[in-house]
Amino acid sequence: MTLDSSRLHLAIQKSGRLSQNTRELLRGAGFRIQEGKNALAARVENFGLDLLLVRDDDIPTFVGDGVCEFGVVGRNVLEEMALDEGAAPVDLVAPLGFGQCALKIAAPDATAYEGPQSLAGARIATSYPNLTQRFLNQAGVQAEIVKMSGAVELAPRLQIAQFICDLVSTGATLEANGLRPVDTVLESEAVLIRTRKPLSPVRAELAVQMLSRIEGVLATQESKYIMLNAPEEALETIAAMLPGAEAPTILPLAGRPGHFAVHAVCKESVFWETLQALKNAGASAILVVPIAKMMM
Ligand code: PRT
Ligand code: ZN
């Protein structure tokens, strides 16, 4: 496969738990994805970006080797593969706010667990041998790791292992198999990664634009636009209370001398408690509205 040297390449999961959210993030950033017949790649019509549609396990290698400049992958896969000998390192650009899960040690309901030392001498089945080993090393515990590529939750019942180390999101799979989570090895979510190989000037410029758009989407997910009215004497207190806001806009209210409108982008969640506190400080007519797009 030859890749167009004037375009950027982003490796994303072809189909699986991360594909839909990844595509939504890209669409939200204004990239129009051309769904062609090519099962391996998709072109972005309105930007110099091609998507490589691959298995998530291949993404760190593609990005590490510089075949793709960027990739979206679970932190769990990224960190597991980074511990492989000879793996080309990549840079983590940003967590993406989806694909949340945790790599956990789980035990059968009847098996006692009083911390990692309970794992000493036991067999642990997992698809994440490197991360599991690191966890054991950090705890100073010796145990045997049994590598499985899937259906790890069946290992205790099949008497392949006493414990497992697997990804958990709702916990339903563990529960259905008579297991319970007992320790956390890694908290994970989807992350954007980039190659450490140098980019050509054309690609470097495209990368700046792409990242700025993606960062814009990530920023708007948390951000809100807040508008309120306040008397002059309360302005300073109120401005200081706005969560994650820099330099609010303050405008005089027509026909109400001594009263002002305060507008600000809040880059942190705005809770009801905050609104109540603003009201107590003298604010009125408080509006909190979502932001559709933002470029800082
Ligand atoms: O085909 P390809 O290799 O690309 O996909 P895959 O089958 O290896 O991965 P996929 O699509 O299952 O998951 C992709 C990524 O999604 C993972 O690497 C994680 O970063 C993230 N993710 C988030 C999860 C889960 N949540 C998750 N619950 N990945 C897997 N699971 C599995 C888990 O292994 C267990 O079997 O779901 C089951 C547990 O779910 P609960 O909800 O019952 O706890
Ligand atoms: Zn995979």
Digit-coded pLDDT (tens) for 9-24: 999 999 999 999 999 9
Q: Distance between alpha carbon 247 and the CA centroid of its chain, in Å?
A: 29
In order of 90, 162, 179, 239, the CA distances from 108 in angstroms are 37, 8, 4, 53
Give the Å distance between the CA of 102 and the centre of ligand 1. Answer: 10
**145 and 262, same domain (yes or no):** no
**Does residue 296 lie within any of the structural domains?**
no
Per the CB < 8 A criterion, the answer to whether 232 and 250 are in contact is no
Percent of the chain with pLDDT over 90: 88
CATH of the domain at 236: 3.30.70.120
User: Which residue of 12, 14, 15, 17 sits with most ligand 1 atoms within 8 Å of its CB, as the best mutation to test the pocket?
Assistant: 17
Per the CB < 8 A criterion, the answer to whether 214 and 94 are in contact is yes
Structure confidence at residue 2 (pLDDT): 61
- The residue contributing the CA closest to ligand 1 atom 32 is 167
- For the stretch 174-189, pLDDT in tens is 999 999 999 999 999 9
**Does residue 1 lie within any of the structural domains?**
no
Domain of 67, in residue numbers: 8-97+190-220
Which two tokens mark 247? 């330099």
- Give the mean model confidence (pLDDT) for residues 37-54: 94
Atom of ligand 1 nearest to the CA of 56: 4
Given a cut of 70, is residue 223 above it in pLDDT? yes
pTM: 0.86
Which two tokens mark 143? 């145990």
CATH of the domain at 106: 3.40.190.10
Structure confidence at residue 56 (pLDDT): 97
Given a cut of 60, is residue 1 above it in pLDDT? no
**Ligand whose nearest atom lies closest to the CA of 167:** 1
Strands in 49-54's sheet, in edge-to-edge order, are: 33-34, 41-44, 49-54, 8-13, 70-74, 190-195, 90-95
- For the stretch 116-129, pLDDT in tens is 999 999 999 999 99
Structure confidence at residue 244 (pLDDT): 80
Pocket, ligand 1, Cβ cutoff 6 A: 13, 16-18, 55-57, 74, 76-77, 99, 101, 166-173, 188
| Domain count of the fold of the chain | 3
